Amino acid sequence: MGKARFFITYLSLAALMSCSASRPGVNTAEAGMFNISIMYPAGKDKTFDMDYYEKNHMPMMAQILGENLKFYEIDKGVAGRTSNDAAPFVAMCHFYCYDVTRYEKAVAQNIDTILKDIKKYTNIQPVVQISKVGQLRNKGSR
């Protein structure tokens, strides 16, 4: 019973930590959008200031990305494959954008500001992946 209770608590915490941090009511992806994931690998001597990230860096990035950004999510790593495994990533963010070219242009135009700000919350070299949102299904859809 103890493991089941822990697992339920873990899932609840993971769900809360992955809540969107952008404009309310608009955090639904659409097929064809782009999801740009920035992932910060965990490891010895790696630091990450989640408070600064949530309150300063991500709002700055939302402003840089402008109207091309529909919403973003911030995830805090809490465990790996099982609740007993260490999380492989300290944190991740997911930008949901309409146009990947506009995303890349906005980042390129502001790269110095972005890189300076990254140093304020982490010493981790992030892993970046650009994905195209595919099929979306709601629970119960067939």
Q: Which domain holds residue 52?
A: 2-132
Is 139 inside any structural domain? no
* Residues 29 and 135 sit within 8 Å (Cβ to Cβ): no
The pLDDT of residue 32: 85
- Which pTM value belongs to this model? 0.76
Reduced to 3 states (helix: H, G, I; strand: E, B; else coil), residue 98 is: coil
Number of domains observed in the structure of the chain: 1
Who contacts 45 (Cβ-Cβ below 8 Å, separation ≥6)?
123
Is 69 inside any structural domain? yes
Is 141 inside any structural domain? no
Is 138 inside any structural domain? no
Q: Check whether 23 has a pLDDT greater than 50.
A: no
Q: Check whether 29 has a pLDDT greater than 70.
A: yes
Is 137 inside any structural domain? no
Give the amino acid at 126: P
For 83-113, what is each residue's pLDDT tens digit?
999 999 999 999 999 999 999 999 999 999 9
- CATH of residue 55's domain is 3.30.70.100
